[in-house]
């Protein structure tokens, strides 16, 4: 039996080996003579972080939950020392990293960097586990770059992987259980994250998934259409133990289950917090729900309007958006003194060159508090990707360009250059000082938050060419 955790890859079980095969064991954490298992969890940077700190200023940053959640899931019987690094706000020295096991979470835009980090660490004999959205969408690809891959949500599979690792039996792939529930989970170990580099440290999650099947969205392809929910009492207890007064819910669609959302918002009222989160336009269909959201402390909502074109919404399988006039949606939300971040996507097959000015005009007419524009992204294995791939319209599978500000497919009614150029123009037109002043003067909603947020987005809008580059892949330590 080896005396340390060094060279653990000899205990990794290959796909062809059965669980009964004799393999070297790793010392039990219960053995007082053995040291702690050193785990390092990493969130890699994408192209927009090629410069130190990236394009986002501190006023636009909030603490993510993935790494701190994984840290909390280490089984109690395993004595472990966990470190986390978010490359969006911190630097990492791959040559000096001293770890027994490294876990890397990756979205599609950060997959190339994740693979590079994995390769360099594995060359040093450090076992690497890959997980997150991209490995869930592309598990066979991810498995080529890691000693083990976690597919789907990791609440059950990550603890099992760690138990297998310390006994020398880590498999090459772990899949989410179809019976996964979000009950009885520990609170994220937020104290491990450097919150001094973010504006909002208190982030939380109540639900997972979404009921809708939008063609461009990764959720249906990666996790299906059945939302998962944490008990409302657990969410309340987490907010209370954080002693939080300002919270961001990171749920993809906090109101996917209206009955659950109403129960949650009712429970938040006595806490007297202020919160922001993500929802769909359907929140404006239910006055009781919207009133509860406002009473519970909702001060900002991010809503994906996506397009002003009904045919584009039909194409994206998001026709439910147009069941209410967008002007009415904005009015009803603003009547509750809730600031609105509206997201719009360019590049649908029914978009013509007129869509850019039409969208900017709508944003200005409604005094949108914080508009955001993106170029359509056919994320791998989504419905949009499969359709465009079948039509021969995918122009690159350099995942580093799948970030919402590059064109990776052939548009239908404009050139790729026109799509890119006009998206940049929409950003700059919306975030000129004059446009910011007109929008916020017309809205006058949550101005202490809206003013610095708009100035942060102005910096973003005017530096897209500088930051949205893949040069970092050539100089990863720059």
- Residue 221 belongs to some domain of the structure: yes
At 289, which CATH number?
3.80.30.20
- Cβ proximity of 41 and 117 under 8 Å: no
Q: What is the DSSP letter of 394?
A: B
The total domain count for the chain is: 2
For residue 288, what pLDDT band results from cuts at 50, 70 and 90?
very high
- In a domain, residue 189? The reply is no
Say whether both 163 and 208 belong to one domain: no
Q: Is residue 188 one of the residues assigned to a domain? A: no
- The answer as to whether 299 is a domain residue is yes
CATH number at residue 97: 3.40.50.280
Asked if pLDDT for residue 52 goes beyond 70, the answer is no
Q: Mean pLDDT, to the nearest integer, of 261-289?
A: 96
CA 168 – CA 383 distance, rounded (Å): 39
pLDDT at 56 over 70: no
Q: Are residues 242 and 139 in the same domain?
A: no
pLDDT at 471: 36
Same domain, 248 and 106: no
Q: How far apart are CA 368 and CA 366, in angstroms?
A: 5
Range of the domain at 69: 8-175
Is there a single domain that holds both residue 109 and residue 234? no
- Say what percent of the chain tops pLDDT 90: 69
- Residue 256 shares a structural domain with residue 138: no
Cβ burial of 324 (10 Å; 0-12, 13-18, 19+) is: middle
Q: Are residues 210 and 344 in the same domain?
A: yes
Q: pTM of this prediction? A: 0.87
Do 26 and 154 belong to one domain?
Answer: yes
C-alpha distance across the termini of the chain, in Å: 41
Q: How far is CA 92 from CA 1, 40, 89, 180, 476, in A?
A: 32, 11, 10, 33, 10
Out of 175, 192, 214, a domain closes at 175
The pLDDT value given to residue 27: 40
170 and 228 together in one domain: no
Residue 418 falls within a domain, yes or no? yes
Indicate whether 193 belongs to any domain.
Answer: no
Q: Which residues pair with 372 in a beta bridge?
A: 343
Q: What is the pLDDT of residues 425-455, one digit of tens each?
A: 999 999 999 999 999 999 999 999 899 889 9
Q: Are strands 228-229 and 207-208 parallel, antiparallel or unpaired?
A: antiparallel
- Whether residue 42 contacts residue 105, with contact meaning beta carbons closer than 8 Å, is answered with yes
294 in the same domain as 342: yes
Does residue 183 belong to any structural domain of this protein?
no
Q: What is the pLDDT of residues 222-248, one digit of tens each?
A: 776 678 999 999 999 999 999 999 999
For the chain, counts of helices (H) and of strands (E): 17, 14
Q: Are residues 231 and 161 both part of a single domain?
A: no
In a domain, 190, yes or no: no
Same domain assignment for residues 31 and 150: yes
Answer positive or negative: Cα dihedral of 276, 295, 239, 73.
negative
Residues 171 and 224 grouped into a single domain: no
Tens of pLDDT, residues 347-404: 999 999 999 999 999 999 999 999 999 999 999 999 999 999 999 999 999 999 999 9
């Amino acid at each position: 039996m080896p005396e340390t955790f060094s060279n653990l890859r000899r205990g990794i079980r290959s796909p062809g080996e059965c669980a009964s095969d004799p393999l070297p064991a790793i010392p039990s954490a219960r053995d007082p003579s053995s040291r702690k298992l050193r785990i390092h969890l990493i969130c890699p940077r994408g192209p927009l972080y090629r410069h130190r700190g990236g394009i986002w200023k501190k006023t636009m940053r909030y603490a993510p939950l993935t790494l701190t959640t994984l840290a909390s899931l280490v089984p109690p019987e395993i004595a472990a020392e966990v470190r986390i690094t978010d490359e969006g706000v911190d630097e990492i020295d791959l040559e000096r990293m001293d770890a027994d096991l490294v876990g890397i979470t990756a979205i599609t835009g950060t997959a190339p960097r994740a693979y590079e980090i994995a390769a360099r660490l594995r060359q040093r004999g450090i076992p690497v586990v890959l997980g997150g959205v991209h490995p869930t969408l592309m598990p066979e690809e991810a498995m080529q770059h890691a000693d083990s891959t976690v597919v789907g949500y990791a609440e059950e599979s990550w603890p099992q992987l760690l138990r297998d690792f310390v006994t020398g039996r880590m498999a090459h792939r772990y899949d989410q259980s179809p019976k996964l529930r979000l009950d009885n989970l520990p609170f994220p170990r937020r104290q491990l994250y450097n919150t001094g580099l973010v504006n909002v440290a208190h982030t939380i999650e109540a639900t997972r998934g979404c009921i809708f099947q939008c063609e461009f969205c990764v959720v249906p392809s990666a996790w299906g259409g059945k939302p998962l929910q944490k008990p409302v009492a657990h969410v309340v207890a987490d907010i209370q133990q954080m002693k939080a007064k300002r919270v961001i819910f990171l749920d993809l669609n906090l109101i996917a289950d209206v009955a659950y959302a109403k129960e949650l918002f009712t429970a938040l009222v006595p806490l007297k917090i202020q919160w922001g989160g993500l929802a769909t336009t359907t929140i404006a269909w239910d006055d009781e729900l919207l009133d509860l959201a406002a009473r519970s402390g909702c001060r900002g909502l991010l809503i994906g309007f996506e397009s002003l074109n009904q045919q584009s919404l039909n194409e994206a399988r998001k026709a439910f958006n147009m069941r209410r006039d967008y002007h009415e949606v904005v009015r009803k939300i603003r009547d509750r003194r809730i600031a609105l971040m509206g997201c719009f996507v360019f590049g649908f097959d029914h978009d013509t060159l007129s869509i850019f000015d039409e969208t900017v005009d709508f944003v200005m007419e409604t005094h949108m508090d914080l508009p955001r524009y993106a170029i359509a992204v056919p994320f791998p294995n989504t419905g949009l990707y499969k359709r465009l791939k079948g039509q021969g319209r995918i122009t690159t599978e350099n995942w580093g360009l799948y970030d919402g500000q590059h064109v990776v497919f052939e548009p239908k009614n404009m050139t790729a250059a026109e799509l890119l150029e006009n998206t940049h123009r929409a950003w700059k037109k919306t975030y000129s000082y004059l446009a910011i002043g007109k929008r916020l003067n017309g809205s006058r909603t949550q101005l202490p938050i809206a003013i610095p947020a708009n100035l942060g987005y102005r910096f973003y809008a005017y530096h897209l060419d500088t930051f949205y580059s893949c040069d970092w892949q050539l100089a990863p330590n720059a």
